């Protein structure tokens, strides 16, 4: 299947592909030539356990998904201006998984398109412009989303990519290293305090004589560091936003379709019903398909605006056939139940490891969506960014693909294909224990592997906090105190 050697592929990429198109392990990137289930294989045939790919939701090259796409492609592929059954079948299947009154579906090709359309729907319905987003958020690469996604916007150096004055950023409800922390408040108090930050933003919007259009947030924040919101947070936020006349948008692009385990949609873990839900990545198991689902009321506002919605490829018969097959596999292979089983097993083993390794500051997650927050010191909670870099490098050497994220790049992210097994978890935990032992012995300071593979090495570390006295902290180190305050850009 190879046309070029790895060296030739890399040379051609450097010549023809934009230099800021990210590669994992940039100084020694992997050339992947095939994949199956939860495994990927490089050009030498080496097998890697994939802990990264939440896109290939039901497993790489799932036979039922591949067959569904191929069979439909041999019969018909056209746009949605012609009647065909697949688009309505898929819309109905998706609607059946959602709480009422979410029932009207608009198909797109990516999560970015879906989130952009959600903002449009909100503006048409509310006739307002002010948007509330979360610190550390990432919702897509189009300009409407880049300028409210501080995860990306904070990296821009051109002086052109600026946050519009109608975008307001609320503190990320990170109970471990955020503005308010679990060492200072109960979880119930944290939910209220972070929600009150949103309420303060709404009050300031009203004082300026403006109105709220929407609140947009991932149901569980992914790129921001696998953040599980404190109980009651979204319920209180949704109440405040709706009282202000705004809509509540749940971004499920990374965390939907059963990954949370206990629920099919992650927003359900907070006992809320959004006005708009966006979805993507896992929906096509690697095939580009995404969607926006909203209420008949919001859809009517969109229609009454006189805007025709047509998206050339969105909702085509092949994409819909593939997504229908994904839903079938989730159901037939009981992958949502597997997320409960495997996620619970992994969290149990990680919490046992946390008692043995000082490098682990926090373990958090739901289902097959887990974060390991690495720290240099449990008292200060200083982020162990270099140690996280070392960890993913060593795991790669041991045939396990892992990634890191969060504002300090110190959170190890687990979001694998949903067909993971307990045997895979055992293999992963054995490798993690070996790496953590090496770090405890200081081997990461001398081992050349520490500099061998750097993932997104040019990305700056963002300092989101100030010290306990309120002055800027260059080190980003804080002690647990009730005086924490986040700098929200």
Residue with tokens 């605006």, as numbered in its chain? 305
Residue 447 banded pLDDT, cuts 50, 70, 90: low
d(CA 411, CA 404): 5
d(CA 231, CA 237): 12
Asked if residue 339 lies in contact with residue 423, where contact means CB atoms within 8 angstroms, the answer is no
Q: Structure tokens of 174? A: 């990170």
What is the model's pLDDT at position 396?
Answer: 96
**For residue 77, how far is the Cα from the chain centroid?**
30
Residue 287 banded pLDDT, cuts 50, 70, 90: very high
Question: What value does the mean pLDDT take over residues 372-385?
Answer: 95
**Bridge partners, residue 107, by sequence:** 291
Q: Longest Cα pair distance anywhere in the chain, in angstroms?
A: 67
Asked if residue 290 lies in contact with residue 326, where contact means CB atoms within 8 angstroms, the answer is no
Residue 2 banded pLDDT, cuts 50, 70, 90: confident
- How many helical (H) and strand (E) elements, i.e. helices and strands, does the chain have? 13, 15
d(CA 129, CA 245): 12
Q: Structure tokens of 343? A: 């996620």
Whether 476 shows a pLDDT value over 50: the answer reads no
What is the model's pLDDT at position 22?
Answer: 82
Going by C-alpha positions, the residue among 102, 237, 257, 92 that lies closest to residue 172 is: 237
**For residue 164, how far is the Cα from the chain centroid?**
23
Torsion sign (Cα): 463, 476, 132, 260:
positive
Range of lowest pLDDT (15-19, 281-285, 320-324)? 15-19
| % of the chain residues with pLDDT over 70 | 91
Question: What value does the mean pLDDT take over residues 303-330?
Answer: 94
d(CA 371, CA 353): 14
Q: In sequence order, which residues have a C-beta less than 8 Å from that of residue 343 and are 6 or more positions away?
A: 261, 365, 366, 367, 368, 369, 370
Angle 379-383-388 from CA coordinates, rounded to 5°: 130
SS (H, E, C) 158-212: CCCCCCCCCEEEECCCCCCCCCCCCCCCCHHHHHHHHHHHHHHHHHHHHHCCCCE
Question: What value does the mean pLDDT take over residues 159-178?
Answer: 90
Sheet of 104-108, strand order: 104-108, 290-294, 276-279, 247-251, 212-218, 130-134, 167-170
What is the model's pLDDT at position 137?
Answer: 86
Q: Structure tokens of 390? A: 């070392």
Identify the helix (H) or strand (E) that includes residue 134. strand 130-134
Whether 240 shows a pLDDT value over 70: the answer reads yes
Per-chain mean pLDDT for the chain: 89
Whether 168 shows a pLDDT value over 70: the answer reads yes
Whether 61 shows a pLDDT value over 60: the answer reads yes
d(CA 62, CA 440): 40
């Amino acid at each position: 299947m190879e046309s070029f050697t790895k060296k030739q592929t890399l040379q051609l990429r450097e010549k023809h592909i934009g230099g800021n198109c990210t590669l994992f392990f940039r100084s020694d990137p992997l050339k992947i030539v095939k994949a199956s289930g939860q495994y990927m294989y490089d050009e030498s045939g080496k097998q890697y356990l994939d802990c990264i790919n939440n896109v290939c939701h039901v497993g790489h090259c799932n036979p039922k998904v591949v067959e569904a796409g191929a069979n439909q492609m041999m019969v018909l592929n056209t746009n949605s201006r012609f009647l065909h059954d697949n688009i309505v079948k898929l819309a109905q299947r998706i609607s059946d998984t959602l709480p009422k009154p979410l029932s009207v579906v608009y198909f797109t090709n990516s999560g970015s398109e879906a989130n952009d359309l959600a903002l449009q729907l909100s503006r048409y319905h509310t006739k307002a412009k002010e948007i509330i987003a979360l610190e550390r958020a990432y919702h897509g690469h189009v300009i409407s989303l880049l300028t409210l996604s501080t995860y990306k916007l904070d990296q821009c150096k051109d002086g052109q990519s600026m946050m519009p004055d109608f975008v307001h950023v609320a503190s990320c409800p990170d109970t471990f290293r955020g503005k308010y922390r679990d060492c200072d408040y109960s979880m119930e108090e944290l939910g209220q305090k972070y929600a009150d930050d949103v309420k303060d933003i709404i009050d300031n919007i009203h004082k300026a004589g403006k109105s709220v259009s929407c609140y947009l947030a991932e149901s569980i924040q992914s790129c921001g560091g696998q953040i599980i919101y404190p109980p009651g947070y979204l319920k209180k936020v949704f109440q405040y936003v709706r009282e202000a006349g705004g809509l509540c948008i749940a971004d499920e692009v990374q965390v939907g379709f059963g990954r949370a385990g206990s629920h099919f949609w992650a927003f359900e873990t907070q006992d809320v019903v959004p006005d708009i839900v966006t979805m993507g990545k896992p929906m096509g198991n690697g095939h580009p398909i995404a969607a926006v689902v909203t209420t008949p009321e919001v859809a009517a506002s969109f229609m009454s605006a006189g805007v025709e919605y047509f998206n050339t490829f969105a909702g085509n018969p092949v994409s819909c056939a593939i997504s229908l097959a994904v839903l079938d596999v989730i159901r037939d292979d009981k992958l949502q139940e597997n997320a409960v089983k495997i996620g619970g097993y992994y969290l149990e083993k990680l919490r046992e490891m946390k008692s043995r390794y000082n490098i682990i500051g926090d373990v958090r997650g739901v289902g097959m969506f887990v974060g390991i927050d690495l720290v240099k010191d449990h008292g200060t909670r200083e982020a162990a960014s270099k140690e996280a870099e070392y960890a993913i490098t060593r795991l790669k050497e041991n045939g396990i693909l892992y990634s890191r994220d969060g504002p300090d790049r110190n959170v190890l992210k687990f979001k694998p294909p949903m067909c993971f097994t307990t045997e895979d978890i055992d293999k992963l935990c054995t490798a993690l224990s070996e790496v953590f032992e090496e770090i405890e012995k200081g081997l990461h300071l001398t081992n050349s592997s520490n500099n061998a593979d750097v993932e997104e090495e040019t990305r700056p570390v963002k300092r989101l906090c100030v010290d306990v006295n309120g002055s800027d902290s260059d080190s980003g180190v804080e002690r647990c105190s009730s005086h924490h305050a986040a700098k929200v850009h």
